[in-house]
Structure 1
Amino acid sequence: MKFHRQLLALSLSAALTAGMTITASAQGTVTVSVNGTKSNVSAFTNADWRTMVPAEIADSLGLSYTAQDSSVTFTGNGISQTYTAGVPVGDTTPAMVAGKLYVPFYHLAQTFGFEVSWDGAARNADAAAGKADTDSVAPIDLNAYLLDHTEKTNDTTRALPIDRTEVNEHPLTGYYGYTLSNGRTIKLYMPEHAALRSYITVIAIPNGVTDTYAFLEEQGWIEQADQYGELLFVLEPANGTWGSVEAERDYLNICIGETVGNTAFDTRSTSNSLLQSGTVSLSDGTSCPVFTGHSCNYYVGYDEGCAVLESWTSNNPMYVAAQALIAGKSAGSEVLDHSAARTYNGINTGSYYPGIDDTAFAEQLGKMAAEKAAPSAQFIKNSDIPVPTLLAGYSEQDESVAYWKSVNDAVSTSEEGVYRQSLNSDAWQTAYANDIAKRWGAQYGISQVKVTQETSLSAAEVHDFMDGYTRYTNPFAYSNALGVRTDYYQTTKAAREAAENGKVLSSYAFEAVDGQEKTVELRALKSTRLTNPGGSAVSGTLYSCISAFHDYDGNGVMDPRETIMYIPDTAKKYGEDGAPVVVVFPGNTQAAATFFDCSMWWSIANDEGCAVIIIGEYCKNSAAGLTYGDEADNADFSRSALQLMDRVVSQDAGVKINMERVYGSGHSLGCRTVQTLTHNSEAGSYAAVGATSFPNAQFTADDRMPSYLLVGQADISEALPDPRANDLVKDPWTVTADSAIYNWVRGACQMNGLDFSFTPNDHNSFLSTCSEYVEAGRYYTYTWADEAQIPLVQFTRTLAREHNCYPEEFRLAWDFLEHYSLSEDGTRYYSPSAFEKDDAVAIS
């Protein structure tokens, strides 16, 4: 099979082209040779004037082949090519002649790197071994490199140095080899300017590959990684040959095994695999963080690697954003049936909170289903979890084709070989994205299965299929979400690259949180159009903005930080009033880019016309990890980012920003960060705040702040005697020192001048304090309003959700935020129509 464009680019000379397409009168018997030596196989030219040869030509070409019915598959040097009678390939069609399958000689030879020439006088086609167009690259020994280039931070841990001239980029670049404790190997490719927390493509190479780098380059994967700034994680067979699915299970778990989960009726051992942790164990007994990925990645199998990889992806679909299986064989019905039956309950092994016992969870799902808040009352199985899948070289009757079509609730379309997810799919993981698609007029759901007999797919073609998808980093089945990935990663890479020289494009003064005047430097600004993403009728412009406002290492030079800014075309509808803007703080370790994708804030922006700023974290303590600074640093970043949005980005987009309608949002540590800012130093900059899964503890601002918090049913539980005393799982009417939600609601109500007095631990008494409440569906929501019935504090408990949020919650947050504004004189307003009408009233 020829998987790559580079070998396709081996073109015939003009003479060859003429010889292979000579007039019909020249049709008939011909001969073929390999490296000048005549082959004794029979050959002829067909009606397309193409030289046709039988499978036995493999011996002369140094290939192996297997024939089955009317198909034959040739393999060699990690490449394979399948031909089937009656199925076109190139510009002709293999055919059965006297019971024997004949295939096009020039297509077969070129696939395996031969250069073909035609001797018209002798009527002979010759295949000569072509000169390799790929230089072999030896991998760097990752263990030895880290021992030589890192320092111990303690007896068990090493750390790579932080380069503050770079913007959230992986600390290592290049091609590395690593040997696991069991003697097996993997390869890593980390290109220049690869972003931390970027997507990773996991590749299971075929049998017989002697040079992994050459294989990756020939397929085009090196080029793809370089182009998008993404990582390659390569699985290699032992001694060049993959074992059975069972034999490879331990290798897969060590390399890519999941970290947490909620499996019922099956013991799921948690795994600190290399892919999920990004931490490498070294020969001196220490370990070192090397990379950090998105966790939900892309998976590609070739030939014999397909079944092995499929055994893992079918069993762990929540970690798979999309997959491609090329010229392989199915893992088999026994493996797929076993994977399909894996069931998920409300238990949350290894996460923040143990979760809910089976009896209570089953009862809860039944209630949610009856209230149309859940697709089903049944526990989720792997067979219910969609995974976008490309199958190349698989017949329509193959077990894998049937399995993935079923998993994706896929239906036939007018496009041959393409099966789209039904909009009536009951999959939890696509419910939100499909609801958006339905409102946008889509005919099908977002997931799909594509089946093609073309096995000579380039990496670009495979990547193009997969990179339309993202998956939220969430191993809890009931809030795991498959979504649409937008195409802008080349833009963020270009911005990081442009900022590396430290050149200042422009600078702007702003008042820092300490009252001093401070400067923000614009280091790079790159943009791209997102044209009708996800089928939206709306397009927009995404900006990758690199700025600097603080010197983190004390060398006298301010260090770059990253933000993603998005302005939809619908923002122009606000005219001179200006579009609202939401400042979003991702969860700890999350990158701005991937959070823009998986939170789906872009879809809210398109629908509502709001601008969005995604705040980027930085390498504070680790070169391979991201986090936030202290409160003052976060406040200054927020202020400087709003300056750049107002004075640079919005003007470039031709849109006015309404600085009286600045809203805060975020998730996890980002939620605590934005809640802390808005209830303290930044209360005078934000009109309202709505965020998920980590409340703040301080309310010091002498001001009101419309506040909304959404928390999962099985969220963080750091209950006493844990010194953090931060239990988000306790009900808000539970009054204890560690009852985080009670403490947050009390603080938010007090800040907004609302009475929150009730009998402790009394549910009904608690409800009596609410202006309204909803204890039905998935979102149990409690609201507190002032005497004018203006809602000022709101709390939602999301059922069947652990700590990592569900993207629909951000739309709920927007539905709260859009009603508030903060004028220059400090007066807050509430508009029932979200300022579509002249109905704004002052909040007194």
Structure 2
Amino acid sequence: MKRIELPKLYFGVAIMLFCLASLVYAGDQFLPGSLDNAPVPPYDYSRANRLPLTGYFMKSFDVQGEQRTARIYIAPDAPIRAYFTIIAVPEGVDTDEFILKSGWKAIADQNNEGLFILEPGKDGWKSPDREQEYIKTAIGFYRNNDYFSIFGENYLAGYDKGGSALEIWAAHNPLLVCSQVFIETSSPNASFYAQFSQKKFDGLSSGYKKIEIPEHLKIPYNEVPVPTWYINSELSAVKDGIAYWKMANDCNDEDRFSKANYLFGSIVFPQSKDSNAWQTDYVGPISKVVVLNRRTNPWNKELSAAIYQFLTEYTRYDVTSAYGNQLGLRVPTGRLYTMMVNGFIREYMVYVPDSAYKLWPNGAPVLMVFPGDSQTDLVFWPATQWWKVADKEGVILAIICEQYSRKSTVVSHKDNEYFVPQLLAELKKSFNIDESRIYATGQSAGSVAAQGFGMTNPEYFAAIASTSGVAHFNQNEWNKLVKAAVYKPIPTYAIIGEGDIESMTGTPWDSTYNQLDQWLEYFIKANGISYIGDESMVQIDGRYRSATWKNSQGFPMIKWTMTLYRAHNCIPAEMPLLWDFLKHWSIKDGKRYFDGEALK
């Protein structure tokens, strides 16, 4: 591996941070270094897709005149935008000792994850209501800082009084919670939960184009499923919480069951099979509420492992909108690899489903995936659930990981002109693939990258289908791309959210000329299409509004879809739509085929 030297400007900063991170053990004690006034970590180009600052740290906050603290643990190999578990520690424990001896540090290390640890003030935990300002302040730092980056969605593990406060935060922020466990807590009363039937999500706060959600479709907070496990020796203390989360998760008492070897024999209330929750409309009724009526020892490593097991059955994505937010199952990822690209070590993931060589013994199709800006391969895996399509269709996934970008804890696209041909060569060399069926997809900046290759290097891919990115976001870059384009036919498909980045929203026939129109103009010309058509072309299928442009042979060369009610992030339900467009196409010796018939 080529040694990458840190710029001299950062050398002193790197040494300071190394010393800071190494202050983990003092004798037999587990002690944090302080992040207060600590320098921002420099770029670490010696490792691909890894947080530059790891170890154990403390951050202090002024909360209404009181000095409060939270602790952060980051495993040595935690990736950019790692999963974190937010832990509210029990009353009366030494936080450092608890995180070490309860097994939570070891769990984070084993899984390359992080812990964000809420702890009481010098006089202990206050009432749950009075702790909300502390929790809001601490989690605000955790979600937006320059020291580390997070997956975006969170696991919660709250013990006794601190856990009671954390449950209130969760009820107010269900879109931010993958799953949650509350141990020996006290839930609020029913009157607290009643407010969430009237509190509804709109489409005005995603950070992108505003969406007017019809009143009858607006989602109340109490209809967002969040997998929940209560562990309590006195269930009367959490009866209203259990009732609320069972309602939010569409659980029925008659469906309950228990298994001796699952979560210590807890009673499980599964999400109803006829649930119509938006957040599980793609993956199906996977959520549940679990109850264990037993006193447990919070220091017990077996308990910590069981809590982590429950939490990580799930993942979730899209914090921007309830109408794009999706709960999912957290499944093992593909295998991670690295290669040197233009002098830098880069990561990529390859997933070969068991079905690949069963369905395609002579070579499986390949889908090259370009994640969006700030989305690593490990983030895009659960965000899109492409693995479901791969398993069903026998498709090999090759997911690019991006390079460090605007700060040392964030990635974006760089050197794709080198990375893509290198990766294609490696895939052809090392895997049994059908070289005539290599496709490209992506999201946002990754979509722009994929579509750009359709303009400059259409020979790379049999077809392209991607989401929320068409013409380049920068007009000068788009002009360069058009100048470099070869104007050769290639099938392409783009799905855009109704509330996407405004510069690509609308329809091809409205009065606003934007990136959607630029993209369509190029590919109409490149594919020899003679018409732009009108709105009569649009076909409606649920929340999808689509138009298809066919050539003289009747082959679908270009497709556009607007997904109603979603913002910028794609949704997993769009992935099968993309694949249904791609799978018909192949390319061999420069000649394209649609279901085996040559493109003229």
Same fold (TM over 0.5): yes
Q: Which secondary structure state, in structure 1, belongs to the residue aligned with residue 50 of structure 2?
A: coil
Which residue in 2 is equivalent to 1:741?
Answer: 516
Change (3 A) 1:659 1:238: same
Specify which of 187, 208, 218 is matched with residue 379 of structure 1: 218
Q: In the alignment, is residue 330 of structure 1 matched against residue 187 of structure 2? A: yes
Q: Which secondary structure state, in structure 2, belongs to the residue aligned with residue 828 of structure 1?
A: strand
Q: In the alignment, is residue 205 of structure 1 matched against residue 92 of structure 2? A: no
Query: How do residues 255-294 of structure 1 correspond to structure 2 at under 5 angstroms?
Result: 255-256=138-139, 273-277=140-144, 279=145, 289-294=146-151
Task: Tell me the CA shift for residue 574 of structure 1.
Answer: 4.2
Specify which of 755, 766, 769 is matched with residue 530 of structure 2: 755
Which residue in 1 is equivalent to 2:210?
Answer: 354
Name the CA distance, whole Å, in 1 between partners of 2:240 and 2:293: 15
Q: What letter corresponds to residue 783 of structure 1 in structure 2?
A: T
Instruction: Output one character per residue of 1:593-625: Cα deviation in whole Å (capped at 9) or x when no partner.
Output: 121122101110000111001110121342111
Name the CA distance, whole Å, in 1 between partners of 2:195 and 2:433: 54
Q: Tell me which protein shows more helix as a share of its residues.
A: 2
Task: Tell me the CA shift for residue 767 of structure 1.
Answer: 3.1
Q: Residues 80 and 410 of structure 2 are in contact (CA less than 8 Å); yes or no, is this contact kept in structure 1? A: yes
Name the CA distance, whole Å, in 1 between partners of 2:360 and 2:70: 55
Specify which of 331, 340, 347 is matched with residue 562 of structure 1: 347
Name the CA distance, whole Å, in 1 between partners of 2:532 and 2:381: 39
Specify which of 439, 446, 453 is matched with residue 663 of structure 1: 439
Which residue in 1 is equivalent to 2:535?
Answer: 767
Specify which of 558, 564, 578 is matched with residue 363 of structure 2: 578
Q: What letter corresponds to residue 36 of structure 2 in structure 1?
A: N
Q: Which secondary structure state, in structure 2, belongs to the residue aligned with residue 800 of structure 1?
A: coil
Name the CA distance, whole Å, in 1 between partners of 2:408 and 2:290: 39
Instruction: Output one character per residue of 1:333-355: Cα deviation in whole Å (capped at 9) or x when no partner.
Output: 23322244321122225x02232
Q: What letter corresponds to residue 548 of structure 2 in structure 1?
A: T
Q: Residues 429 and 482 of structure 1 are in contact (CA less than 8 Å); yes or no, is this contact kept in structure 2? A: yes
Instruction: Output one character per residue of 1:459-514: Cα deviation in whole Å (capped at 9) or x when no partner.
Output: 211111111111013330111000011135xxxxxxxxxxxxxxxxxxxxxxxxxx
Specify which of 785, 808, 813 is matched with residue 550 of structure 2: 785
Task: Tell me the CA shift for residue 219 of structure 1.
Answer: 1.6
Which residue in 2 is equivalent to 1:728?
Answer: 504
Query: How do residues 624-663 of structure 1 correspond to structure 2 at under 5 angstroms?
Result: 624-629=409-414, 633-648=415-430, 650=431, 656-663=432-439
Q: In the alignment, is residue 141 of structure 1 matched against residue 34 of structure 2? A: yes
Q: What letter corresponds to residue 336 of structure 1 in structure 2?
A: Y
Which residue in 2 is equivalent to 1:842?
Answer: 598
Query: How do residues 791-806 of structure 1 correspond to structure 2 at under 5 angstroms?
Result: 791-806=556-571
Q: In the alignment, is residue 828 of structure 1 matched against residue 592 of structure 2? A: yes
Task: Tell me the CA shift for residue 446 of structure 1.
Answer: 0.8
Name the CA distance, whole Å, in 1 between partners of 2:186 and 2:69: 23
What is the root-mean-square deviation of aligned Cα atoms in Å? 1.8
Change (3 A) 1:575 1:477: closer
Specify which of 133, 141, 149 is matched with residue 250 of structure 1: 133
Q: Which secondary structure state, in structure 1, belongs to the residue aligned with residue 419 of structure 2?
A: helix
Structure 1's unaligned 5+ residue stretches are 1-133, 151-158, 257-272, 280-288, 363-376, 435-444, 489-541, 552-558, 651-655, 718-726, 759-765, 832-839
Specify which of 573, 586, 591 is matched with residue 808 of structure 1: 573
Q: Mean Cα displacement is larger for which, 239-248 or 227-236?
A: 239-248
Q: Residues 360 and 394 of structure 2 are in contact (CA less than 8 Å); yes or no, is this contact kept in structure 1? A: no
Task: Tell me the CA shift for residue 757 of structure 1.
Answer: 4.1
Which residue in 2 is equivalent to 1:231?
Answer: 114
Task: Tell me the CA shift for residue 332 of structure 1.
Answer: 2.6
Task: Tell me the CA shift for residue 797 of structure 1.
Answer: 0.2
Q: Which secondary structure state, in structure 1, belongs to the residue aligned with residue 282 of structure 2?
A: helix
Q: Residues 279 and 325 of structure 2 are in contact (CA less than 8 Å); yes or no, is this contact kept in structure 1? A: yes
Name the CA distance, whole Å, in 1 between partners of 2:28 and 2:196: 41
Which residue in 2 is equivalent to 1:192?
Answer: 76
Query: How do residues 481-520 of structure 1 correspond to structure 2 at under 5 angstroms?
Result: 481-488=326-333
Which residue in 2 is equivalent to 1:706?
Answer: 491
Name the CA distance, whole Å, in 1 between partners of 2:488 and 2:178: 44
Which residue in 2 is equivalent to 1:75?
Answer: none
Name the CA distance, whole Å, in 2 between partners of 1:187 and 1:563: 31
Q: In the alignment, is residue 425 of structure 1 matched against residue 201 of structure 2? A: no
Query: How do residues 402-413 of structure 1 correspond to structure 2 at under 5 angstroms?
Result: 402-411=243-252, 412-413=255-256
Identical pairs, percent: 32
Q: Which secondary structure state, in structure 1, belongs to the residue aligned with residue 163 of structure 2?
A: helix
Q: In the alignment, is residue 171 of structure 1 matched against residue 52 of structure 2? A: yes
Q: Residues 355 and 394 of structure 2 are in contact (CA less than 8 Å); yes or no, is this contact kept in structure 1? A: yes
Instruction: Output one character per residue of 1:565-590: Cα deviation in whole Å (capped at 9) or x when no partner.
Output: 10111111344541110011111111
Q: Which has the larger radius of gyration?
A: 1
Structure 2's unaligned 5+ residue stretches are 1-26, 259-265, 472-477
Name the CA distance, whole Å, in 2 between partners of 1:657 and 1:197: 31
Q: What letter corresponds to residue 292 of structure 2 in structure 1?
A: T
Name the CA distance, whole Å, in 2 between partners of 1:668 and 1:202: 29
Task: Tell me the CA shift for residue 676 of structure 1.
Answer: 1.1
Q: Residues 389 and 448 of structure 1 are in contact (CA less than 8 Å); yes or no, is this contact kept in structure 2? A: yes
Name the CA distance, whole Å, in 1 between partners of 2:72 and 2:583: 45
Specify which of 451, 454, 470 is matched with residue 291 of structure 2: 451
Q: What letter corresponds to residue 345 of structure 2 in structure 1?
A: P
Q: Which secondary structure state, in structure 2, belongs to the residue aligned with residue 580 of structure 1?
A: strand
Task: Tell me the CA shift for residue 776 of structure 1.
Answer: 4.5
Task: Tell me the CA shift for residue 396 of structure 1.
Answer: 5.5
Q: Which secondary structure state, in structure 1, belongs to the residue aligned with residue 156 of structure 2?
A: strand
Instruction: Output one character per residue of 1:149-206: Cα deviation in whole Å (capped at 9) or x when no partner.
Output: x4xxxxxxxx421121112111111111111133221111112111111101001112
Q: Which secondary structure state, in structure 2, belongs to the residue aligned with residue 429 of structure 1?
A: helix
Q: Mean Cα displacement is larger for which, 193-202 or 472-481?
A: 472-481
Q: What letter corresponds to residue 136 of structure 1 in structure 2?
A: Q
Name the CA distance, whole Å, in 2 between partners of 1:598 and 1:735: 33
Q: Which secondary structure state, in structure 1, belongs to the residue aligned with residue 498 of structure 2?
A: strand
Task: Tell me the CA shift for residue 843 of structure 1.
Answer: 1.1
Q: What letter corresponds to residue 430 of structure 1 in structure 2?
A: T
Q: Residues 68 and 121 of structure 2 are in contact (CA less than 8 Å); yes or no, is this contact kept in structure 1? A: yes
Name the CA distance, whole Å, in 2 between partners of 1:644 and 1:142: 42
Task: Tell me the CA shift for residue 735 of structure 1.
Answer: 4.3
Q: What letter corresponds to residue 372 of structure 2 in structure 1?
A: G
Aligned length in residues = 545
Change (3 A) 1:240 1:814: farther
Q: Residues 219 and 459 of structure 1 are in contact (CA less than 8 Å); yes or no, is this contact kept in structure 2? A: yes
Q: Which secondary structure state, in structure 1, belongs to the residue aligned with residue 562 of structure 2?
A: strand
Name the CA distance, whole Å, in 1 between partners of 2:525 and 2:511: 16
Q: Mean Cα displacement is larger for which, 296-305 or 619-628?
A: 619-628
TM-score by length of 1: 0.63
Which residue in 1 is equivalent to 2:174?
Answer: 317
Name the CA distance, whole Å, in 2 between partners of 1:788 and 1:577: 29
Query: How do residues 124-163 of structure 1 correspond to structure 2 at under 5 angstroms?
Result: 135-144=28-37, 146=38, 150=39, 159-163=40-44
Q: Residues 84 and 150 of structure 2 are in contact (CA less than 8 Å); yes or no, is this contact kept in structure 1? A: yes
Q: Residues 368 and 398 of structure 2 are in contact (CA less than 8 Å); yes or no, is this contact kept in structure 1? A: yes
Task: Tell me the CA shift for residue 275 of structure 1.
Answer: 1.9
Which residue in 2 is equivalent to 1:26?
Answer: none
Q: Residues 820 and 828 of structure 1 are in contact (CA less than 8 Å); yes or no, is this contact kept in structure 2? A: yes
Name the CA distance, whole Å, in 2 between partners of 1:417 and 1:574: 40
Q: Residues 395 and 401 of structure 1 are in contact (CA less than 8 Å); yes or no, is this contact kept in structure 2? A: no
TM-score by length of 2: 0.88
